[in-house]
């Protein structure tokens, strides 16, 4: 169990008894799951590295039901763990001990879509891909996209402030989320579900729920500003001889593709080895030390193509890029994207994954990978680096056949100290969850963490919402 490896103590919460189960059965008829077999998946994270021992799963359908459940849990001092698609990568989406799992999966209603303003209002449990499909019929799209789109839910995306593949174009959820409805620890419904683009009336409370990983409230509904779906999409995968040239390509792409640039992703050569050996995928171009994926999304195919061709002529002509291919039809676009999107899945085939999600200044971005390879040497199966280069976000992953404590000690705290030295972030987009909460100080000052703890205490005085997550243990106790 996770709690054993990480040596955490269970908080002073009540334990569920048969009376509690009867109350939940009355509040959510037929939607209270206590069968241990059925609970295994909900207790285990996507990486299969964190496992809790919850004995109860609740599946509300409405905000009122969530409110009733929380009111009761608050009165009984029962801990609650909100769960969306359970695709989180930091152990935040599964219980640590016997917290009740509150799943939003049945809260999957789309409330409204305004085709003119591009505003979507929906319940928190809507799956990202399903929302995108729905919007596509009226010429709109979601402002975020990630490899987990088929399972992750919009409430989970908001709670982790997920970034993803197109953040450089459409911005973070702190900008595109217009409103949030949330249920607080004591059951109070906080309605900040505005659909206004502009509203400077007091503190912007919805922002507190974006990226707070279920520690301040349960997000029950959201409103989001959605861009128009582009008319034309192109995707290039380019082979590059060294990292400096990846940066030069980024600079040129920003300048020459301008407003149509929608993604700039990066992979090093071990990424291709990884998907080749673990997923049987093929490299569409010749093998090179580095690769960049450049996507354009615009409203005029001929115009976009012309811009992309001029860009390619320049980067190939100047030797910034050595090889490449461009996809314009959706099947080829999808097959190139899947090389990048399936890296996280491919890593799992190696056994144990040490996963790091770091923001760094571009000048130092790849030096960390070089230093890490030298450090872990032959203890690791592989060290692979990829990420959202356009956003300065590095995904550094190291694998070994099984958990290896010596290897972990080579990686941590070295990686956090290194990141802190260059004023980076130790979690760019995945959050802190259970696994990274104790490293928050590498990216935030003591005063900032203290204020976070005060906000947590104010909004959840009994600490029943997603305990053992995001904030360091014993902080302020």
Site for ligand FAD in 21-40 (CB under 6 A): none
Position among 153, 381, 400, 443 found at the interface with ligand FAD (CB under 6 A): 153
With CB under 6 A as the contact rule, which of the stretches 86-94, 264-272, 404-412, 439-447 interacts with ligand FAD? 86-94
Nearer to ligand FAD, 93 or 262 (CB): 93
**Partner in contact with 410, chosen from ligand FAD, ligand 2HG, none, beta carbon below 5 to 8 Å by kind:** none
Residue 436 found at the interface with ligand 2HG (CB under 6 A): no
Position among 90, 182, 344, 452 found at the interface with ligand 2HG (CB under 6 A): 344
Residue 344 found at the interface with ligand FAD (CB under 6 A): yes
Site for ligand FAD in 128-147 (CB under 6 A): 146-147
User: Least CB distance from residue 159 to ligand FAD, whole Å?
Assistant: 3
**Partner in contact with 392, chosen from ligand FAD, ligand 2HG, none, beta carbon below 5 to 8 Å by kind:** none
Nearer to ligand 2HG, 234 or 397 (CB): 397
Residue 264 found at the interface with ligand FAD (CB under 6 A): no
φ, ψ at 267 (rounded to 5°):
-145, 145
CA-closest candidate to residue 425, choices 365, 342, 335: 365
Residue 60 found at the interface with ligand FAD (CB under 6 A): no
**Partner in contact with 397, chosen from ligand FAD, ligand 2HG, none, beta carbon below 5 to 8 Å by kind:** ligand 2HG
Residue 397 found at the interface with ligand FAD (CB under 6 A): no
Residue 88 found at the interface with ligand FAD (CB under 6 A): yes
Site for ligand FAD in 63-82 (CB under 6 A): 81-82
User: Least CB distance from residue 323 to ligand 2HG, whole Å?
Assistant: 23
CA-closest candidate to residue 8, choices 381, 477, 469, 476: 469
Nearer to ligand FAD, 214 or 298 (CB): 214
Residue 91 found at the interface with ligand FAD (CB under 6 A): no
Q: How many CA atoms lie within 13 A of 302 on its CB side?
A: 0
Position among 60, 95, 118, 163 found at the interface with ligand FAD (CB under 6 A): 163
User: Least CB distance from residue 149 to ligand 2HG, whole Å?
Assistant: 11
**Partner in contact with 355, chosen from ligand FAD, ligand 2HG, none, beta carbon below 5 to 8 Å by kind:** ligand 2HG
x-marked contacts with ligand 2HG along 366-405 as a string, rule CB under 6 A: -----------------------------x-x--------
**Partner in contact with 153, chosen from ligand 2HG, ligand FAD, none, beta carbon below 5 to 8 Å by kind:** ligand FAD
Q: Which tokens sit at 158?
A: 């908001």
User: Least CB distance from residue 145 to ligand 2HG, whole Å?
Assistant: 10
CA-closest candidate to residue 463, choices 102, 41, 80: 80
SS (HEC) of the chain: CHHHHHCCCCCCCCCCCHHHHHHHHHHCCCCEECCHHHHHHHHECCCCCCECCCCCEECCCCHHHHHHHHHHHHHHCCCEEEECCCCCCCCCCCCCCCCEEEECCCCCCEEEEECCCCEEEEECCCEHHHHHHHHHCCCECCCCCCCCCCCCEHHHHHHHCCCCCCHHHHCCHHHHEEEEEEECCCCCEEEECCCCCCCCCCCCCHHHHCCCCCCCCEEEEEEEECCECCCEEEEEEEEECCHHHHHHHHHHHHHHHHHHEEEEEEEEHHHHHHHHHHHCCCCCCCCCCEEEEEEEEECCHHHHHHHHHHHHHHHHHCCCCCEEEEECCHHHHHHHHHHHHCHHHHHHCCCEEEEEEEECCHHHCCHHHHHHHHHHHHHCCEEEEEEEHHHCEEEEEEEECCCCHHHHHHHCCHHHHHHHHCCCECECCCCCCCCCHHHHHHCCCHHHHHHHHHHHHHHCCCCCECCCCCCCCCCCC
Nearer to ligand 2HG, 152 or 257 (CB): 152
Question: Which residues make up the interface to ligand FAD (CB under 6 A)?
Answer: 46, 81-89, 92-93, 104, 124, 146-148, 152-153, 155-157, 159-160, 162-165, 213-214, 218-219, 344-345, 429-430, 433, 466, 469
Question: Which residues make up the interface to ligand 2HG (CB under 6 A)?
Answer: 147, 343-344, 355, 357, 395, 397
């Amino acid at each position: 169990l996770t709690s054993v490896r990480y040596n955490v103590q269970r908080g002073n919460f009540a334990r569920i008894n048969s009376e509690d189960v009867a109350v939940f059965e009355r509040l959510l008829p037929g939607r209270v799951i206590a069968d241990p077999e059925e609970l295994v998946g909900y207790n285990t994270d996507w990486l299969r590295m964190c496992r809790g021992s919850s004995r109860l799963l609740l599946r509300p359908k409405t905000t009122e039901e969530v409110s009733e459940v929380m009111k009761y849990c608050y009165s009984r001092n029962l801990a609650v763990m909100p769960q969306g698609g359970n695709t989180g990568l930091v152990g935040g989406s599964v219980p640590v001990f016997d917290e009740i799992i509150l799943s939003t999966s049945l809260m999957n209603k789309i409330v409204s879509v305004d085709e003119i303003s591009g505003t979507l209002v929906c319940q928190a449990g809507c799956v990202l891909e399903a929302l995108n499909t729905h919007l596509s019929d009226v010429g709109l799209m979601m402002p975020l996209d990630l490899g987990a789109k088929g399972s992750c839910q919009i409430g989970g995306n908001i709670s982790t402030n997920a970034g993803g593949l197109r953040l450089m174009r459409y911005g973070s959820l702190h900008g595109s989320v217009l409103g949030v409805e949330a249920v607080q620890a004591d059951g109070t419904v906080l309605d900040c579900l505005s659909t206004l683009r502009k509203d400077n009336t007091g503190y912007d409370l919805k922002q507190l729920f974006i990226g707070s990983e279920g520690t301040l409230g349960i997000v029950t509904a959201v409103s989001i500003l959605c861009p128009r779906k582009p008319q034309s999409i192109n995707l290039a995968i380019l082979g590059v001889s060294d990292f400096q040239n990846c940066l030069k390509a980024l600079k040129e792409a920003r300048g020459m593709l301008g407003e149509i640039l929608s993604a700039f992703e990066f992979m090093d050569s071990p990424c291709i080895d990884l998907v080749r050996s673990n997923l049987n995928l093929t490299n569409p171009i010749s093998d090179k030390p580095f690769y960049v994926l450049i996507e354009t999304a615009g409203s005029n195919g001929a115009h976009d193509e012309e811009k992309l061709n001029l860009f390619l002529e320049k980067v190939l002509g100047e030797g910034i890029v050595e090889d490449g291919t461009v996809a314009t039809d959706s099947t080829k676009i999808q097959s190139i994207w899947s090389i990048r999107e399936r890296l996280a899945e491919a890593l799992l085939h190696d056994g144990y994954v040490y996963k790091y999600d770091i923001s760094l200044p571009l000048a130092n971005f790849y030096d960390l990978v070089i230093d890490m390879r030298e450090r872990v040497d032959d203890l690791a199966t592989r060290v692979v680096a990829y990420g959202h280069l356009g956003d300065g976000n590095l995904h550094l992953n190291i694998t070994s056949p099984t958990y290896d404590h010596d290897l972990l000690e080579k990686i941590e705290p070295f990686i956090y100290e290194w990141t802190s030295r260059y004023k980076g972030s130790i979690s760019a987009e995945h959050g802190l969850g259970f696994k990274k909460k104790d490293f928050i100080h590498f990216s935030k000052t003591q005063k900032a963490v203290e204020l976070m703890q005060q906000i947590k205490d104010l909004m959840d005085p009994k600490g029943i919402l997603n305990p053992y997550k995001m904030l360091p243990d014993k902080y302020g106790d």
